[in-house]
Amino acid sequence: MIRLDFKMVSLYSASNGDLYILPRGISKKWGGAIIDLELPHFLESGYTDQMLESDVKQVVDDWNVMEPSEELKPSVIEKVVKVKGYVKAVKNMKYVSLEWNVEEGYTVIPTINSGKNGFDHLEDESISCGINLGAGALAQAIRTAIALSK
């Protein structure tokens, strides 16, 4: 069953400004864990706010459209950037979690890269965008969250 009351997206920002956007889904095998899906979108550095919002909204629509891979290694981002080992693959990247739920709309959460422990959410710096977004509001929230991520 596809849950439609909430959705999640992973955004990985490379040091050169390239952006990898991955929908997420719920794994039955791993007890309901939410895992990146192998449906990556890529925006080359220099992308516009309109391109960013369009791709992100499309990826949000891809929430849970397929069962995540039963194998956790290599991770989707390792496959996408063609680097073996999660820590190496994301070494010079920033990660932002984008969440949407039916009651609150979009929330964008910056993170801190904790090396072997992955990314820790900076909940205190979350950006709530709400349900009715004006043009550019989501893109601005994402760009701010990327800037706040460490």
Question: Strands 6-13 and 105-113: what pairing?
Answer: unpaired
Residue 24 domain-assigned? yes
Neighbours of 51 (CB within 10 A): 14
Q: Which residues pair with 41 in a beta bridge?
A: 21
The pLDDT of residue 118 is: 86
CB of 45 closer than 8 Å to CB of 122: no
**Residues of the chain whose pLDDT is less than 70?**
1-4
CB-based contact 142:52 (threshold 8 Å): yes
User: Is 98 within the bounds of a domain?
Assistant: yes
pLDDT recorded at residue 3: 54
Global pTM reads 0.92
Residue 127 is predicted with a pLDDT of 96
In the prediction, which pLDDT does 1 show? 44
Q: Which domain holds residue 32?
A: 6-148
Residues 6+ apart with CB under 8 A from 143: 49, 52
Is 80 inside a domain boundary?
A: yes
Residue 37 lies in a domain: yes
Using CB atoms within 10 Å of the CB of residue 8, give its burial: 0 to 12 exposed, 13 to 18 middle, 19+ buried. Answer: buried
Q: Does residue 49 belong to any structural domain of this protein?
A: yes
CATH code, domain with 71? 3.40.1590.10
Question: How many structural domains are present in the chain?
Answer: 1
